[in-house]
């Protein structure tokens, strides 16, 4: 049966690659992925799936269910398709979408012979919008026993974690004054932002390995001859454990409060947007995915570099899940780079896309059988 499924994926390879290239050539930001959703829906409807666009009241979420539903495990393959601002598909979500469609269509060819439910979930806005979190809240993961997706990377790594993340917005308010003739009349909000970064840099020595706090200044004032009355910064706080992430947020708050005290500026400190949990890969699914890679003749690479963050982490707390990585380019090619965006439409990406589709399909077959 696996041979039949994998053969079907090979037969669909050109169509899947065309889908991947179209998504790559037309990058859409989170919650704006209308073309990608339409293209995916057309392919799945053509294979008999019952497709719901705007699933859960989320405009660019998609839920497609194969009509052959029977008692047994509910398995979902997840498609991401949002792009990065300014860089397009520098995270390779075009490949995540196409590999998920490939797995679903390959499994559809034998689904009437198997128990359980086959679902494809199109999950928007992974890059900071928390689309999967909204889908969890909308109940779209209820009734599922496993959620599978594969992420392109510069190395093949199956059992890979992720970092919990919180986004923090810091705004200081001071007092404007002429920066040359009467600077003593002003309160410099930009100084408070800079002091926050100084305090944070002193804190780094005392942060556990693997955790990250990184930020940018989003408002530094209006003109050099005006003491900045408003300044702002945005930070990402990440850690391997959800609890330690929260502890680091409070340490960042202390740095900002100290800067406010030192400069006389007032502070606004807010956790904003969706917070992603650290992922918990299911060990049985990890083992099953490894068996598929071995059968496909794909070796695992040694993990390199640090970890990122994903809303697939939140999924893993409500259903058994895996989020392995598959090589599409040279090792050490950084993600979220122009080089990776170029690699995401290259020949290595095509091979990785097909391998990912086959591996996910193989895991689903093991669960149903």
**38-83 pLDDT per residue, tens:** 999 999 999 999 999 999 999 999 999 999 999 999 999 999 999 9
In this prediction, residue 100 carries a pLDDT of 98
In this prediction, residue 272 carries a pLDDT of 87
In this prediction, residue 362 carries a pLDDT of 98
- Across residues 248-258, what is the average pLDDT? 97
DSSP state of 55: G
Residue 143 has pLDDT above 80, yes or no: yes
Among 47-61, 95-109, 219-233, 292-306, name the one with the lowest average pLDDT: 292-306
Query: Contact at 8 Å (CB) between 303 and 162?
Result: no
In this prediction, residue 149 carries a pLDDT of 98
Which CATH architecture does the domain made up of 164-275 adopt?
2-Layer Sandwich (3.30)
Query: Contact at 8 Å (CB) between 120 and 41?
Result: no
Report residue 88 as tokens.
């397009």
Strand segments (E) across the chain: 50-53, 62-65, 74-80, 117-123, 146-148, 151-153, 164-173, 212-219, 230-239, 266-276, 320-322, 325-327
Report residue 102 as tokens.
């490939």
User: CATH for 2-162+279-368?
Assistant: 3.40.630.10
Dihedrals phi, psi of 273, to nearest 5 degrees: 70, -170
Report residue 78 as tokens.
């997840």
pTM of the complete model = 0.90
How would residue 28 be classed by pLDDT, with cut points 50, 70 and 90?
A: very high
For 65-103, b where at least 16 C-beta lie within 10 A, e where not — what string?
A: bbebeeeebbbbbbbbbbbbeeebbbbbbbbbbbbbbbb
Segments making up each domain of the chain, as ranges: 2-162+279-368, 164-275
Residue 304 has pLDDT above 90, yes or no: no
How would residue 257 be classed by pLDDT, with cut points 50, 70 and 90?
A: very high
How many whole angstroms separate alpha carbon 266 and alpha carbon 56?
40
In this prediction, residue 273 carries a pLDDT of 77
What's the pLDDT tens digit per position in 208-227? 999 999 999 999 999 999 99
Q: Tell me if domain 2-162+279-368 and domain 164-275 are identical in fold.
A: no
- Among 14, 17, 314, smallest CA distance to 164 is for 314
């Amino acid at each position: 049966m696996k041979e039949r499924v994998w053969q079907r994926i090979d037969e669909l390879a050109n169509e899947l690659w065309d889908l991947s290239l179209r998504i790559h050539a037309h990058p859409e930001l989170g919650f704006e992925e209308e073309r990608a959703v339409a293209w995916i829906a057309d392919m799945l409807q053509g294979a008999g799936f019952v497709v719901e666009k705007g699933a859960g009241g989320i405009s660019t979420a998609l839920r497609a269910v194969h009509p052959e539903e029977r008692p047994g495990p509910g398995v979902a393959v997840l498609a991401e398709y949002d792009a990065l601002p300014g860089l397009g598909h520098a995270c390779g979500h075009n490949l995540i979408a196409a590999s998920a469609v490939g797995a679903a269509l390959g499994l559809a060819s034998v689904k009437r012979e198997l128990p359980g439910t086959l679902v494809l979930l199109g999950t928007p806005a992974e890059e900071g919008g928390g689309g999967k979190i909204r889908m969890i809240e909308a109940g779209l993961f209820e009734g599922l026993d496993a959620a599978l997706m594969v992420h392109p990377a510069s190395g093949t790594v199956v059992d890979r974690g992720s970092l919990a993340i919180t986004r923090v917005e810091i705004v200081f308010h001071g007092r404007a004054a002429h920066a040359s003739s009467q600077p003593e009349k002003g309160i410099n909000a930009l100084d408070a932002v800079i002091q926050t970064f100084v305090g944070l840099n002193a804190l780094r020595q005392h942060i556990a390995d693997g955790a990250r706090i990184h930020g940018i200044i989003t408002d530094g004032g209006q003109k050099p001859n005006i003491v900045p009355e408003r300044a702002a910064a945005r930070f990402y706080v990440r850690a391997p454990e959800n609890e330690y992430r929260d502890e680091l947020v409070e340490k960042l708050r202390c740095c900002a409060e100290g800067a406010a005290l030192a400069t006389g500026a007032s502070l606004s400190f807010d956790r904003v947007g969706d917070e992603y949990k650290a992922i918990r890969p299911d060990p049985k699914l990890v083992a099953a995915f490894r068996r598929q890679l071995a059968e496909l003749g794909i070796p695992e690479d040694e993990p390199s570099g640090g970890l990122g963050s994903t809303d697939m982490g939140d999924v893993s707390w409500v259903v058994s899940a895996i989020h392995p990585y598959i090589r599409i380019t040279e090792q050490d090619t950084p993600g979220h780079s122009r080089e990776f965006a170029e690699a995401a439409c290259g020949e290595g990406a095509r091979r990785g896309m097909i391998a990912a589709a086959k591996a996910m399909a193989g895991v689903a077959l093991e669960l149903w059988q």
